[in-house]
Amino acid sequence: MNTPHGRTRAALLAAGRGLVLSFASIVGSVTLFVLAVVSISLIPLGIGLVTTPYVLTAVRKHANQRRLLAITWSDVRIPVPYRPFPTDVRSGFTGQVERTGLMLKDPATWRDIQWLLVDMTAGYAVSILAAALMIYPVEGFVLAAGLWRVFTHDRYWYGFVPVDSQATALAAAALGVALFATGVLLSERLLHAHFVIARSVLAPTHEQELALRIDRLTETRHEAVDTAASELRRIERDLHDGAQARLVAMGMNLGTIEALIEKDPAQAKKLLAMTRESSAEALTELRDLVRGIHPPVLAERGLGDAVKALALRMPIGTEVDVELSGRAQAPVESAAYFAVSEILTNAAKHSGADRIWVDLHDAQGMLRISVTDNGKGGAATGSGSGLSGVERRLGTFDGIMAVSSPAGGPTMVTMEIPCELS
């Protein structure tokens, strides 16, 4: 990206993204801000008790989408600070009242509403400027190419240049070149500034973030204990039903062989062959079990090569791009590996994709992983989905996961785990 062509291409991409953000800011944020204010103001009349949870949920989805774009487009991390709902929230009107109260007591709700106001003003101005610096110069070039003749009777202003002749049209083109050069220098920075502005409002204070992290770590600690117990039961069950049963059968066969080796050598030889096959199958099952606990390739060659080996076993084409400066601690590598494995399995089974891309890199003390497929989209992220298990696994290490899966695709799952590579 250091070449002029690379910088221009990056600036054009930033301009396109700025145009998308400006539309989301002026349409999405304005609409949701109005709905949120009206819905909250109608709470005393009872109407808002029904509508507010739905409106605030839509606001959270809008804010979370911006968080996802911030990390994927500009490498700006905005924490997700929402308090989880208790599991015993009731249904019906009483439940709606309870959910309304819980959401309004959450400081993150009010930061979201403040952000909507900032996003429709400062956020919009910055994002539209990133787009305009690359798009507006096109008009100057078109005027110089001959469009100025349309305005021979009425003077047309391009910026501060009055266009009414070929000379002034060329001056407009010169201004367009200056604006385009400015856009090449500033469009990416303006896009980054848009997300920094969002982070300044959406991100919790240090004290709030610390309290949230303590709550999250307490919750994930209990989940880790439950997961470990469940994993231990699975290993015991697999051993009992698989390798252990085969080893018991082998012992019985060996006892029978001892009795037959002199009386019926042919039958003893046949049992020996069966026992050898059983030992090979038991060894295979034990290897599979060990691989399910901690794959040897992960221990020997690290996360990048382990994910590449995983991709080779996928039934659909999977490309893996790895840029890691070292290795993370073994528990982090294991969590990341099984998270990627679960996401790839989900994509292969449910997405209808014919191509998957996996990107692993580290930056600023974070291990960052993205898995993208070109399938039909609509990936489930609720408590009953496989992705919720991935989120719990990452939460054990204070990691986060974000999912973008619009109907029609593509689906992108982005994960971040704080860690230091060595």
- Residue 102, burial from CB neighbour count under 10 angstroms (0-12, 13-18, 19+): middle
Strand, helix or coil at 172?
helix
> Phi/psi of residue 411, each to 5°?
-105, 130
Q: How many CB atoms lie within 10 A of CB 408?
A: 9
The reported pTM is 0.56
pLDDT over 70, % of the chain: 80
Burial of 110 (0-12, 13-18, 19+ CB in 10 A): exposed
| Element of type H or E holding 227 | helix 206-238
Torsion-angle region of residue 82: left (phi > 0), alpha (psi -120 to 50) or beta? beta
Task: Measure the CA–CA gap between 160 and 162, rounded to whole angstroms.
Answer: 7
pLDDT at 396 over 70: yes
Tell me if 341 sits within 8 A of 313, measured CB to CB: no
Residue 2 is predicted with a pLDDT of: 62
Alpha-helical (H) ranges within 124-205 are: 124-144, 166-202
How far apart are alpha carbons 115 and 119 in whole angstroms? 6
More confident residue, 261 or 38: 38
Q: What totals of helices (H) and strands (E) does the chain contain, helices first?
A: 14, 7
Of the ranges 87-96, 135-144, 303-312, the best mean pLDDT one: 303-312
- Position 274 scores a pLDDT of 79
